[in-house]
Amino acid sequence: MSKAKLNRRKDQLFGYFGVFATVLGLVLLALFIFQIFSDGIGRLDLDFMKALPSRKWEKAGILPAWTGTLWIFVLTAVVVIPVGVGAGVYLEEYATKGRLSNLLEINISNLAGVPSIIYGIIGLQIFVRFMNLGGVLLAGAFTLALLILPIIIVATREAIKAVPKSIKQASYGLGATKWQTIWNQVLPIASANIITGVILALARAVGETAPLIVIGALAYVPFVAKSPMDEFTVLPMQIFNWVSRPQHGFLLNAAAAILILLLIVFLLNGLAVYLRNRSRKKFGM
Amino acid sequence: MKKLITIFVAILSISFMAMSCGDSENTGGGDAHATSSDKGSIGIDGSSTVFPITEAVAEEYRAVAKDVQVTVGVSGTGGGFKKFSRGETDISDASRPIKQKEIDACKENNISYLELSVAYDGLAVIANPQNDWLTDITVAELKKIWEPAAKGVVMNWNQIRPEWPAEKIELYGPGTASGTFDYFTEAICGESGACRADYNSSEDDNILVTGVAGNKYALGFFGLAYYSENQDKLKLVAVDGGNGAITPSLETVKDGSYAPLSRPLFIYVNSTAAAKAHVVNFVKYYIENAGAMATDVGYIPMKDDEYAAENAKFEEFLSSLSSPATAE
């Protein structure tokens, strides 16, 4: 066999492997979604969305849970975006490169690998006990914001790095200050990638259970939270609670709740893709 | 950039609208059967075993006093007592009596309380339906299988009784963090937490059900409710605690003959909270309805005179409180 032929064979084999890997992932996902769908779709109706939790599975609903998840999404976004983007801009544009910034960089990357329950323990001590917030929405949002902060900082930095130097130089050349350049040139161009990163991180946050259990999110909440200082539950808590119940009907409820959670995450991801494409077109990147 | 911000703000406002919409549906469906004008909130946390009963009582109580907001968490019995001893909750759910360490923590923070039993929970020893040799087992035999020294030694069925098959016992049980595990190990091995480590464990009892149902040589233990809901897939084993083999059932758990694998479930009421009228009424309602609710969610109710005794205990506790009950 000639060397060229061998290389072609290798190429072919790797192609097959790629197809296999892709199909495997898709088949598993399809099986999972099919299972959840066939279990949950029968329970999914407007009453299920409007009802409070109940000991009777056929009467139980997820109103406090899905509204809690939306609250957590919005509050976490409000807390994490200014801090995360601010830190990213500082590290990329202002911080002098040196040992200190290297150390910061490594630590931020490491933080992204810390198990989420550890953030729950930090949240419990700092927000719930020390700041005396109690196990309320705001404490949950702060905790989840901490959890996804590293991801957003890294995403912001990568987005800013991708902005062409020529644009910044042109801006300086016209006499703009650093802040004017960042606000009027760098951030608009980087925004699509930043928002993509933010939304993917938030999608992760709304799927978290462990840190919220630790800070004291509840399992039975008979009301819709009206302010960030209200106690709350979220969809993953409700699902977790239902899958461990002995009655089979609760498993169907859990499947239906998973469908709603999937829908929320799917919409978020779709939004991220849309924003990215839109901005790419606009700035021709 | 501005457009992106506009889009984001639009999404936020839609979310908020959706929330306030759900909100109006909630309060809009006001309850006409309200019989109490009590107002206030009651914070409950603790055992996930007791949770279904408390959830059921709280759910029914909405129809009685719609302005009393009862919230229930599932931090576990220990986690619940931690919050209770800091005065963070009004009532604590517990699947075991309070420990000395927790009593001390309450004393330190000047928290006094009352313990009330609300129902029984039976622990079932379970085998696979294809298992045709095992119908009953003694506590001593269970100990031989589950004690820490059994690890790597007691592996086959015929090591327990010679006539049983020479096949490996596949063991299934709840994880070490659960109250069910504490209670089983205490009742069987004589010390809470003393257990062999080489068994299939899961915090989710439904996984244990699937495990035992799928293996002819399996042996497991978990809450009786999980057997009741999966009777076609499992085989219930009678347990001999010294007075003959007893099969767990509503009757045998209720009258105490299914020993030692049945236990009472508790709620603990903070005395400061018990000075508030809406908490007092809720607790009375709890005792009154605990039996029916326990049955509904798969637990075993106590006898009527036992509930009457709990109620009397609560009344006595109330009159012993130095400050008279005040309405809020």
* Pair of tokens at residue B172: 């299934």
pLDDT in tens, A217-247: 888 888 888 889 888 999 999 998 898 888 8
Q: What is residue B29's predicted lDDT score, i.e. its pLDDT?
A: 37
Chosen from A244, A268, A274, A276 to mutate, greatest number of chain B CBs within 10 A: A244
Q: 């020479």: which residue's tokens? A: B166
Instruction: Pick the residue from chain A with its C-alpha nearest to B86.
Output: A129
- pLDDT band at residue B22, thresholds of 50, 70 and 90? very low
* Residue B11: predicted pLDDT: 53
The pLDDT of residue A133 is 87
Res B5: pLDDT: 54
Question: Which residues in chain A have Cβ-Cβ distances shorter than 8 Å to B4?
Answer: 191-192, 195, 275, 279
CA dist A280 and A162 (Å) reads 12
A chain contacts of residue B296, beta-carbon cutoff 8 Å: 55-56
Chain A interface, mutation test: which of B71, B83, B208, B222, most A Cβ atoms within 10 Å? B71
pLDDT at A284 over 80: no
Q: Do A67 and B51 touch (CB under 8 A)?
A: no
Q: What is the pLDDT of residues B88-131, one digit of tens each?
A: 899 999 988 898 999 999 999 999 999 999 999 989 999 999 99
- What tens digit of pLDDT does each residue of A9-36 get? 999 999 999 999 999 999 999 999 999 8
Whether residue B26 has pLDDT greater than 60: no
For residue B125, what is the DSSP state?
E
The shares of helix, strand and coil residues in chain A, as percent rounded to the nearest 5, are 75, 0, 20
User: B34-121+263-320, which class in CATH?
Assistant: alpha beta
**CA A215 to CA A213: how far, in whole Å?**
6
As a whole number, mean pLDDT of residues B313-325 equals: 78
Q: Closest by alpha carbon to A65, among A264, A245, A276?
A: A264
pLDDT value at position B14?
53
Least confident of A1-5, A34-38, B11-15: B11-15
**Average model confidence (pLDDT) for chain A?**
89
Distance, in Å, from the CA atom of A263 to the CA atom of B260, rounded to the nearest integer, reads 47
Torsion angle in degrees (nearest 10) through CA of A153, A156, A157, A159: 160
CB contact under 8 A, A216 and B223: no
Locate CATH 3.40.190.10 in chain B: 34-121+263-320, 124-262
Q: Which of residues 47-76 of A touch B (CB under 8 A)?
A: 49-50, 52-56, 63, 66-67, 70-71, 73-74
CB within 8 Å: A55 and B54? no
Q: Rounded CA gap, A139 and B112, in Å?
A: 29
Mean pLDDT of A32-49: 88
Check if A244 contacts B (Cβ < 8 Å). Answer: yes
- Which DSSP category does B302 fall into? -
Pull the structure tokens for residue B295: 């049955």
pLDDT band at residue A268 under the 50/70/90 scheme: confident
For B174-227, what is each residue's pLDDT tens digit?
888 777 888 889 889 888 888 898 899 888 888 999 999 999 999 999 988 889
CA distances to A1, A15, A88, B30 from A8, rounded to whole Å, are 11, 10, 44, 73
Contact residues for A122 (Cβ-Cβ < 8 A; gap 6+): A143, A146
Q: What mean pLDDT do residues A130-137 have?
A: 88
CA–CA separation, B92 and B151 (whole Å): 36
- Of the candidates A285, A282, A68, which has an alpha carbon nearest to the alpha carbon of residue A163? A285
Say what the pLDDT of residue B202 is. 87
For residue range B285-316, list pLDDT tens digits in order. Answer: 999 999 999 998 889 999 999 999 999 999 99
Report whether pLDDT(B63) > 80.
Answer: yes
Partner A contacted by B83 (CB < 8 A): yes
Q: Tell me whether residues A219 and B74 touch, CB distance under 8 A.
A: yes
Q: Token pair of B3, please?
A: 């457009």
Q: Is the pLDDT of residue B17 over 70?
A: no
Tell me whether A238 touches chain B (CB under 8 Å).
Answer: no
pLDDT exceeds cutoff 50 at B327: no
pLDDT at A207: 87
Looking at the DSSP assignment, which residues form a beta bridge with residue B120? B264, B300
pLDDT at B31: 39
Contact at CB, B51 and A220, closer than 8 angstroms: yes
Q: How far is B259 from chain A (nearest CA, A)?
A: 23
Question: Residues of A88-109 as b/e, b for ≥16 C-beta within 10 angstroms?
Answer: bbebbeeeeeeeeeeeebeebe
Rounded to a whole number of angstroms, the distance from the CA of A183 to the nearest CA of chain B is 9
Percentage of residues in chain A with pLDDT exceeding 70?
99
* DSSP classification of residue B187: H
| pTM for this predicted structure | 0.80
pLDDT for A222 equals: 87
Instruction: Enter the CATH code of domain B124-262.
Output: 3.40.190.10
